[in-house]
Amino acid sequence: MDNSAAFSQPLWGTQKDLQQFIEAAPLGIVTTNQAGEIVFVNRRLETMFGYSREELLGQPVEILIPVRFHDSHVKYRHEYQQTTLGRPMGAGMDLVGQHKNGTQVPIEVGLSMLTIGSETYIQALITDITIRQQTQERLEQRVQERTQEIERRRQVSDSLRGILRELNSNNSLSAVLNYIVKQAGQLLSAKASAIFRLIEQELVLQTSQNLPYAYVQVAHLTIGEGAIGEAVLSGEPVLVPDLTQRIGHGSDKTHARRQMLFDHGYQAVLAVPLRIKNTLYGGIVLYYDEKWQFTAEDIELAVTFGDQVALAIENARMRTQVERAAVAAERSRLARDLHDSVTQTLFSASVIAEVLPRLWKKNLAESERRVEELRQLTRGALAEMRTLLLELRPATLTEVPLGDLLRQLGEATAGRAKIPITVELEGKTRLLPDVQVALYRITQEALNNVAKHANATGAVVRATVQPRSAILSIQDDGTGFKWAGVEPRHLGLKIMQERAEAIRADFSVDSQLEHGTTIRVVWQRDS
């Protein structure tokens, strides 16, 4: 069978067939004359707008649109009739139609010009796009919700990064907790927030944001009292979506506190317990100025902030332990240095002082030599004590001129090693604090080597200080050493080199057997 021959025939044979075809069309069809009066509608258009055909025929086409659009539609219709190029069929416009009952319907309209004999008509094909528009609105809503979700997750991520920076900073625990409680309030859209600490069965307010002063004064609760007391007692988050439902319940104090919150505009509360290594520490509370339907995400985020609070407290505790351990270690080191240097020096001085009266009568020359030795020992002990005091107050290392610091080190070493130490300084320019401390520490380490290992008869410390540079050298006439045969850590050389590198200075060591050692540091300030 030849299908092409079948398709070449018209689908209708009579005007009746054409009428049935138009009536069965899934689109609403309306035809108007040049005056804008309706001359034809199909069955679909009757269903779409709720009018019968008899009610529409002869009426202006504006009956199908809201009143507020009538004038603009009449103007557009006249302009459309005057143009020689009509819109092609199917090219639609999104408009608003009005049902007979007054409800408005989103529609898409396509227009075309139709000429029959001497009359010209406008034919409109109308599609109800309610479902399409609803689908589009749902899609847009989902996109908006997804965008809001992404934005909130970004805010949470930024907040957690900020908290991490705070945790790794040297800020006090109070400052860190204030930062966390502020972030919790902002991200959870709460009007106020607070952290309570459990102290001897009582929950005491530790820090808060935006709580009324009157409430802060009475915010001391027992376990089980209020939302935070219940959270601590149960170990689970407690949600109060509507605070008014709890007013009047509990003790008089609890009722008064809830009433105070309500009077200040708070209507909902979320409380989360804080645990530190399975020990209850207290809780974090969020206060809302309207009734609130808490979501699983709200609760999860509140618990996350609670974990951050616990981490901050634990970090502060560990930091305190480390600081105490460091203080104890420093005290032990100072005590050891005091015993190794000052105590021995003073013991030697006391022995000389005891024998001087008897020696003075027998040998005047020897007595005078011993007196000079005693003077050197006491000056060395005094210098050692000053050095130890500097260790107790490290900030002094940047306040005292470099020349005074180096002379003090020289006197201390001279008293300890019983050899002359000469200190020469050129220039009075103040150095950067980190540079001065580095040069002081390098000199200290080098003179310790002179006293302990060099077997020297003397040493010279030279420092030349200029506005943008400094040169330091420590030279002794001791036994020296072979660089290849000595591990740097044995003489503190590695430590000295690292201190020099920290200030971007050049560090060098020149040592030969029986010809002494020279340590040299050259620093230049970067432009």
Q: Do 441 and 516 reside in the same domain of the chain?
A: yes
Instruction: Please give the pLDDT value at position 343.
Output: 66
Q: Do 176 and 210 reside in the same domain of the chain?
A: yes
Per-residue pLDDT at 47 exceeds 70: yes
pLDDT band (50, 70, 90) for residue 507: very high
Q: Do 148 and 56 reside in the same domain of the chain?
A: no
Q: Do 233 and 269 reside in the same domain of the chain?
A: yes
Residue 192's alpha-carbon distances to 287, 306, 339, in angstroms, are 5, 15, 57
Quick one: what percent of the chain has pLDDT higher than 90? 17
Instruction: Please give the pLDDT value at position 363.
Output: 78
| Residue 325, domain member (yes or no) | no
| Residue 231, domain member (yes or no) | yes
Q: Do 300 and 194 reside in the same domain of the chain?
A: yes
| Residue 384, domain member (yes or no) | no
CATH of the domain at 201: 3.30.450.40
Print burial letters for 386-411: b (CB count within 10 Å at least 16), e (below 16): bbbebeeeeeebbeeebbebbbbbbb
pLDDT band (50, 70, 90) for residue 4: very low
For the chain, the 3-state helix, strand and coil shares in percent, each to the nearest 5, are 55, 20, 25
Provide the H-helix boundaries in 418-466.
Answer: 433-449
When pLDDT is averaged across residues 92-99 and rounded to a whole number, the result is 85
Cα–Cα distance for residue pair 447/410, rounded to 1 Å: 8
Instruction: Please give the pLDDT value at position 248.
Output: 59
Instruction: Please give the pLDDT value at position 388.
Output: 63
What's the whole-model pTM score? 0.46
Cα–Cα distance for residue pair 498/207, rounded to 1 Å: 43
| Residue 480, domain member (yes or no) | yes
Q: Which of the given ranges, 68-77, 86-95, 325-334, 382-391, has the highest pLDDT on average?
A: 68-77
- The residue that leads in pLDDT, 281 or 155, is 281
| Residue 178, domain member (yes or no) | yes
pLDDT band (50, 70, 90) for residue 389: low
Q: Do 150 and 246 reside in the same domain of the chain?
A: yes
Q: What is the separation of C-alpha 436 from the centre of its chain, rounded to a whole number of angstroms?
A: 35
Instruction: Please give the pLDDT value at position 474.
Output: 94
When pLDDT is averaged across residues 126-136 and rounded to a whole number, the result is 89
Per-residue pLDDT at 100 exceeds 90: yes
When pLDDT is averaged across residues 401-411 and rounded to a whole number, the result is 86
Token pair in block for residue 288: 């809302």
Instruction: Please give the pLDDT value at position 87.
Output: 47
When pLDDT is averaged across residues 170-177 and rounded to a whole number, the result is 79
pLDDT in tens, 417-469: 788 999 999 988 888 888 988 998 899 889 988 888 888 999 999 999 988 89
Q: E-assigned strands of 136-267?
A: 192-199, 202-209, 220-222, 238-240
Residue ending a domain, choose from 320, 355, 380: 320
Q: Do 237 and 302 reside in the same domain of the chain?
A: yes
Per-residue pLDDT at 8 exceeds 80: no
| Residue 155, domain member (yes or no) | yes
Three-state DSSP at 275 gives strand
Instruction: Please give the pLDDT value at position 333.
Output: 61
Lowest mean pLDDT among 32-46, 283-297, 376-390, 431-445: 376-390
Per-residue pLDDT at 288 exceeds 70: yes
| Residue 197, domain member (yes or no) | yes
CATH of the domain at 115: 3.30.450.20
Per-residue pLDDT at 143 exceeds 90: no
pLDDT in tens, 210-261: 888 888 887 778 888 888 888 888 889 999 899 887 765 666 677 777 788 8
Are 195 and 284 in contact by the 8 Å Cβ rule? The answer is yes
Instruction: Please give the pLDDT value at position 91.
Output: 58
Q: Do 307 and 162 reside in the same domain of the chain?
A: yes
Beta pairing, strands 459-466 & 421-426: parallel
| Residue 339, domain member (yes or no) | no
Q: Do 227 and 261 reside in the same domain of the chain?
A: yes
CATH of the domain at 513: 3.30.565.10
pLDDT band (50, 70, 90) for residue 485: low
Q: Do 218 and 264 reside in the same domain of the chain?
A: yes
Q: Do 259 and 285 reside in the same domain of the chain?
A: yes
Question: Average pLDDT over the chain, rounded to whole?
Answer: 80
Instruction: Please give the pLDDT value at position 344.
Output: 66
Quick one: what percent of the chain has pLDDT higher than 70? 82
Residues of the domain holding 85 = 11-128
Q: Do 315 and 451 reside in the same domain of the chain?
A: no
Per-residue pLDDT at 3 exceeds 70: no
Number of independent structural domains in the chain: 3
Cα–Cα distance for residue pair 232/296, rounded to 1 Å: 20
Residue ending a domain, choose from 320, 355, 370: 320
Residue ending a domain, choose from 320, 351, 380: 320
Lowest mean pLDDT among 70-74, 162-166, 411-415: 162-166
When pLDDT is averaged across residues 322-337 and rounded to a whole number, the result is 65
Print burial letters for 20-55: b (CB count within 10 Å at least 16), e (below 16): eebeeeebbbbbbeeebebbbbbebbbebbebeeee
Closest CA to 187 of 217, 209, 213: 209
